[in-house]
Amino acid sequence: MLHFLIWLAWLFLVYIHPKEYCLPSHRPQRLLGPCTLISQRLGSVFFLSLSLLIAKLLFDELRPDHHQRVVKLLNHLSYIEDLPASFLSSVSQDLMAESWNHCYRCVGIYNDEIICYGVALFELKARGGRCCHIEDIVVDPSYQRLGVGRQLIKHLVQIAESFSCYKVQLVTGPNTIPFYESCGFAVNGVEMRLLNSKYNSTQLAQPLSA
């Protein structure tokens, strides 16, 4: 219901614009007031709804019962065909066994539903110091452009700061550069990648215990 109200408010703010619909040249004052008032009221509802969503968004460490939902979310980043339940169970065990000192997997929960996911990897440098690599940032499409992703990044950066990381870095595509810049990141360098062509997507995700 909250998400529907946010969408409705956004729809009115975009399509009921005083300059286009409320300013007939022969009577500029009569219609400007009501339409401006409507826009202001809808704007208040919109930002109030956003505030309620963000206030109820909770972050937690990945647990075994979260895993299947997270796998579905990650398919919005890169799709992998349905994986066998036994395979996912093995992967889940490996994830839970990995030390928190090296990796933090975070889920964002709203109204008992996982709506976002992200990972912070911690690297201890040979000359001292620790840096953080952020990966697998994904938000349920139904909750995108509502500030959820920004809150997720903020939370992961705070975790990195608690580990005294001297820098936080990530890899992203051209379309999401503006988003990460708005979160305080700056473009630095060029990504280089080498994929192992001998393995398919399932084998790349082979559990460590296999």
Domain boundaries defined on the chain: 2-55, 59-204
Mean pLDDT within 23-43: 47
**Structure token digits, residue 41:** 């009221």
Instruction: Return the pLDDT at 86.
Output: 84
Q: Are 91 and 203 in contact (CB under 8 A)?
A: no
Instruction: Report how far apart, in Å, the C-alpha atoms of 8 and of each of 45, 49, 90, 137, 176 are.
Output: 10, 11, 43, 27, 25
The model's confidence at residue 207, banded by pLDDT at 50, 70 and 90, is very low
Greater model confidence, 81 or 146: 146
The model's confidence at residue 158, banded by pLDDT at 50, 70 and 90, is very high
Instruction: Return the pLDDT at 82.
Output: 78
| Per-residue pLDDT at 12 exceeds 90 | no
CATH topology classification for 59-204:
Aminopeptidase (3.40.630)
Q: Are 54 and 151 in contact (CB under 8 A)?
A: yes
Mean pLDDT within 180-198: 89
d(CA 98, CA 182): 32
Instruction: Return the pLDDT at 157.
Output: 98
d(CA 2, CA 51): 11
Instruction: Return the pLDDT at 87.
Output: 85
Average pLDDT value for the chain:
79
Greater model confidence, 161 or 209: 161
Model pTM? 0.72
